Each structure stands twice: as structure tokens, then as C-alpha cells.
Amino acid sequence: MKKEILEELKRKCNSCYKCELGKTRNNIVFADGNPETAKAILIGEAPGENEDKTGTPFVGRAGKLLNEFLEKSGISRKDDLYIINTVKCRPPQNRVPTDSEKECCADYLIKQIETVNPNVLIFCGATALKSFYPKKIPISKIRGEVLELKIGGKIRKCIPIFHPSYLLRYHSLDEGSPRDLMLKDLRKIKSML
């Protein structure tokens, strides 16, 4: 049932040109993961160049690093997660999507969340956090916290985490390092699935 609803939504996205991003994309980047078994939705910022080529979210360098961290924390990308972005099309030069571009994709995003109906939403990076959280607060101050936000007509548990592209700049696994905190946050999420 979920797959059928999401396939219809994907067809709508494929023919969507509400914003300028639709005119420059190669592919929409709709989702990855199994909506029938996913207990969490991970929301990223926007597709990058590799994602635009393949139509799959988180497949570049940051995606490979994310996969490593998911594996270390015991989360199955294939079975436990449904991965989406705040927008379905790649912004030029991988820039941050504008508020109006995110607004054009908002209905698709909310429909995906309502359909999958996960135990937890994971805001992967500052752009995803800002898309749902009204307070202006750096992700470094709020990452790992369980927020309860009304999204798609329902109060949902949400956890912000660092974006893996941020972690590409930091290689230390020392206590309190960004990579250490990411692993701790993902293990916390695993316990909520």
C-alpha cells in the first residue's frame, strides 16, 4: 500500500516544474530505502551531482561516510531507513536550496512522511533542521536531542544530526569529536527504532 502511494507521488514529482530546479535537473531524487520496513526517515539537504546523475540520495563521498556510520551503529540503510531530501532536484553548484524551492517540495515531503509514518525523523544537517524547527539555533547545540514537533498533522520525535559532508572535514574519533558525537547520536536513534 505504501509503495503504491509513493510511486504515484514519485510520478507527480517527475513532472513537477514548480521551481527553477526542475528545469536543470537530470533526475529527481525521490527516496531510498524500504517504506514498508523503515522505522526512521532521514531528511538531508538536497541532491548533489552524484545524486542528480543516479536519482538516489546520499551516494557521493558524504553518502559513503554515512553508510559507514550507519553500519557501525547497527542501522540498516536498506531496511531501517527511508532517505529523502528537503528538495527533490539538485540546486546549481550544490548550493543550499532556497526557502521558496523548499516550499515547492514541501507537500511531497510531508506526504512521504505521512505515508511512511516512522518512529523518528532524523534531520541530517542544518538545512533539514531549519526546514522544520522554528528556533534559530546552531545544529552543534541541538544535535542528538529528541525534539517533539508537529509534522504532517502528528507530533513526531525528531533528532538532528551532523551532515556527513561536515564530518568529511574531521577525521578524529576522539571523545567529543564530531565523528564520535555522530556515532553516539546514531546509536541513540537505533535504540528508538
Residue 33: CATH number of its domain? 3.40.470.10
Number of domains the chain contains:
1
Question: With bands split at pLDDT 50, 70 and 90, how would you rate the model's confidence at 128?
Answer: very high
User: pLDDT for 27-70, tens place per residue?
Assistant: 999 999 999 999 999 999 999 999 999 999 999 999 999 999 99
Query: Given this model, what pLDDT does residue 55 score?
Result: 96
And the C-alpha cell for 174? 576522539
Mean pLDDT value of segment 128-157: 95
Three-state DSSP class for residue 124: strand
Count, residues in the chain: 193
Report whether pLDDT(100) > 90. Answer: yes
How close are the terminal C-alpha atoms of the chain, in Å?
Answer: 21
Nearest 10 degrees: Cα torsion 182, 52, 97, 172: 20
* Domain region containing 87: 2-192
Helix (H, G, I), strand (E, B) or coil at 96: coil
Name the amino acid, one letter, at 37.
Answer: T
User: What is the residue-averaged pLDDT of the chain?
Assistant: 96
What is the average pLDDT across 60-84?
97
Please determine, for residue 1, whether its predicted confidence score (pLDDT) is greater than 90: no
Does the structure show a pLDDT above 90 at 124?
Answer: yes
What is the pTM for the complete model shown? 0.96
Quickly state the pLDDT bin for 106 (edges 50, 70, 90).
very high
